[in-house]
Amino acid sequence: MAESNSLTDAEIMLKIAGYDSKALEQLYDRYAPFLYTLIKKIVIDKETSEEILSDVFVIIWRQIDQFDFKTNNIYTWLVTLARNKAIDVLNRRGGKMLPDYNDEYEKEHIIPKLSKEVETLELDEVLNRKEKMEKALSSLTDAQRYVLELSYYGGMDQEEIANKLKIPTVTVKSKLQVAIGNLMQKLSEAK
């Protein structure tokens, strides 16, 4: 176990691509709490969150060939995958009309498609930047933070947010764009 603990995320993913289940276990040990925290924030319910987390690792195991080893951005891939899956469950549970969940749907809507030009992130590095992210988020206005949360954790699209807040869709779009732009700027300044 000591040996596998020293493996980087990229090395672990390579081993998973060879269906090494110990590597998957290593990835689970490393990422499960972080992904669970995100999933629970989205779906709230503990049991559903655990079910989703477990499904995320099944997806990783089944769809590892969908991971782009050229970009190798494991952190962002895993977080986006977990979020997509949790939002999908949330939407289905909320009665949103969605296509049947099958392999094709999973590849199209759940598996992340990351940019081909990518700066890779590692979990440890992200956790070290926790405070900076908290500060950057708290620097947003309440309205900006609220629309950002409705979108990121609530899985709502522009129209849904507009309906909820009873404001025009254009305003929602603009608030989201400003919020994410500001967040980027604040984080860059904090580097």
Distance CA 113, CA 105 (A): 13
Residue ranges in 45-74 that form contacts with other proteins under rule CB under 8 A: 49-50, 53-55, 57-58, 61-62, 65, 73
Q: Exposed/middle/buried for 186, CB within 10 Å: 0-12, 13-18, 19+? A: middle
> Using CB under 8 A, which of 4, 28, 111, 167 touches other proteins?
28
- Contact pattern from residue 72 through residue 101 relative to other proteins, giving x for each residue in contact according to CB under 8 A and a dash for the rest: -x-xx--xx--xx--x--------------
Question: DSSP assignment, residue 91?
Answer: H
State yes or no: residue 122 binds other proteins (CB under 8 A).
Answer: no
CA end-to-end span of the chain, whole Å?
A: 34
CB of 87 to other proteins, least distance (A): 7
State yes or no: residue 12 binds other proteins (CB under 8 A).
Answer: no
Closest CA to 147 of 183, 175, 181: 175
Q: Which two tokens stand for residue 45?
A: 């319910």
CB of 34 to other proteins, least distance (A): 7
Closest CA to 191 of 117, 114, 128: 128
Task: Kindly give, in sequence order, each residue whose CB lies less than 8 Å from that of residue 111, ignoring residues fewer than 6 positions away.
Answer: 59, 63, 66, 81, 84
Give residues in contact with other proteins (CB under 8 A): 19-22, 24-25, 28, 32-34, 36-38, 40-41, 49-50, 53-55, 57-58, 61-62, 65, 73, 75-76, 79-80, 83-84, 87, 112, 114-119, 121, 126-127, 129-130, 133-134, 137, 148, 151-152, 155-159, 161, 173, 176-177, 180-181, 183-184, 187
